[in-house]
Structure 1
Amino acid sequence: MAIPQRFSLVTLGVADVEAATAFYRRLGWREAPSSVDGDIAFFATPGGVLALWETAELAKDAALPTMHANAPGFRAVALAINLASREEVDDAVGDWVLAGGSISKAAAETEWGGYSGYVADPDGNLWELAHNPSWPLDERGLPVLRGT
């Protein structure tokens, strides 16, 4: 049996679901009606669902220990939003910071011919905001991967 090549949901562990939900709302994201106030928040996107859930509850659900307070800040995961231009990347970075997020790496030209920067939400979840001129965006805003 082959496992489908897709993801349905990404769950970010957060310290405070209400505060994290408020941050994503400030970005202009609309919360799904299936959210449970203060417990779990869902945001439908063109590519899958983003969920916000308390870190300890997520760890418990996965039968893993919760990370200790001195755990490294980098979690070896970054989500990404591709945008149509460098200007859109700069605008998105600015809006991210205005909503209460932070910049991890300022947007700049990349070695692969694009433009990209990294931002973090208030819980340290890392997002790349990028423009890749080799990957046009489809009508849903998702990159179209083409062979070389």
Structure 2
Amino acid sequence: MTIPQRYSLVTLGVADVIASTAFYRAIGWVPSSHSAEGDVTFFTTAGGVLGLWKTGELAAEAGVSTMHASAPAFRAVALSINLESRSAVDDACAEWLAAGGAVSKAPTETEWGGYSGYVADPDGNLWELAHNPFWPLDERGLPVLG
């Protein structure tokens, strides 16, 4: 058997599911009816499902500790939203800030010929907002890599 080359669900550990849900609602995302208010929130996206779950519960489910003395603030993971233009990246960044998120790197031209910036949700989960002129987007807004 070969493991399918896809992801179905990304779960972000958050301090407060209600507050985090309010943030994602503020950027225009609509929770799924399969959510359990205050316990877990799911958002259906064009790619896969995004879940918000309390950090401690996610760690316990995975069998890992949430406290490491040497744990870096950077979790070595960033989710990305590819957008159709540079101006769409700037607009998305402004909306992210208005909703209560933060910018860790303002959008700028990249060395690979695109345009990208990094934002964080209130729990510090990183998202890249990017325009890659070499990756056209399909009807769902997903990159076509050829």
The TM-score bracket by the shorter chain reads over 0.9
Partner SS for 1:29: coil
Q: In 2, distance between residues paired with 1:145 and 1:51?
A: 26
Instruction: After TM superposition, give the deviation of residue 68 of structure 1 in Å.
Output: 4.7
Instruction: After TM superposition, give the deviation of residue 71 of structure 1 in Å.
Output: 3.5
Q: How many residues align?
A: 146
- Root-mean-square deviation over aligned CA pairs: 1.1
Q: Does residue 43 of the first structure (1) align with residue 52 of the second (2)?
A: no
Q: In 1, distance between residues paired with 2:101 and 2:114?
A: 23
Query: Which amino acid counterpart does residue 17 of structure 1 have in structure 2?
Result: V
Q: In 1, distance between residues paired with 2:125 and 2:31?
A: 18
Give % identity: 71
Partner SS for 2:23: helix
Q: TM-score, normalised by structure 2?
A: 0.97
Q: In 2, distance between residues paired with 1:39 and 1:109?
A: 39
Q: In 1, distance between residues paired with 2:42 and 2:69?
A: 26
**Equivalent residue for 2:4?**
4
**Equivalent residue for 2:26?**
26
**Equivalent residue for 1:139?**
139
**Equivalent residue for 1:65?**
65
Give unpaired runs (5+ residues) of structure 1.
Answer: none
Q: In 2, distance between residues paired with 1:126 and 1:70?
A: 20
**Equivalent residue for 1:86?**
86
